[in-house]
Amino acid sequence: MIRKVLITGASRGIGRAIAFAFAQEGAHVALVATNQALLDSVAEELAPMGRTVIAKSVDICDGAAVKTAVDEIKKELGGLDIVINNAGITRDQLLLRLKEDDFQKVLDVNLTGAYRVTKAACRYLLKSPHGRIINLSSIVGITGNAGQSNYAASKAGLIGFSKSLAQELSSRGVTVNVIAPGFISTDMTGALSED
């Protein structure tokens, strides 16, 4: 059975690599991020693999847009089996200098965005014999990191969200896992100083 996978933050970095891994394994993939040009570029690279590739620019901070996009993706792919919540941003600053808007924006994308996507996709995952949710957290969500109280809070929240969701959905055959990678060289981490 060909798996149908939705990946947020799929235009670059870890999300892009996940998209390639699933496509190489024969899955149909839906790429979701905000930059349509980057998504189209990834979709173009995946096209020769012979599977369906959908590229949708979606602001995961917009609940109505997320629901519409997930419904369209399910229809275009003919179902939905796997959701990977990978989208994430940073707005690093020491707490004393951290603006409330920057704190809230990181939580809205990294944590609430995962909630919105998962909620919109859940009814489809429950109908799949292979329903899977994979949330990308970070080691920073476990250890914390100076200057990243907003990012650490969002990633720690994803861990708690995943544990609770696993308890809600496991009896219905949907698994929920969280991955907490350490430092990985991507565009996002490329902006960090050596310290």
Catalytic residue annotation: 151
Distances (CA, A) of 179 to 14, 66, 153: 12, 23, 16
Residue 51: CB atoms within 10 A of its CB come to 20
Query: Helices 63-77 and 113-127 meet at what angle, rounded to 10?
Result: 30
At 151, list the tokens. 């990012």
As a whole number of angstroms, the distance between CA 8 and CA 168 comes to: 22
Q: Enumerate the H helices of the chain as residue ranges.
A: 13-24, 36-46, 63-77, 100-107, 113-127, 140-143, 149-169, 187-190
| Pairing of the two strands 132-136 and 82-85 | parallel
**CA nearest to 34, candidates 141, 108, 121:** 108
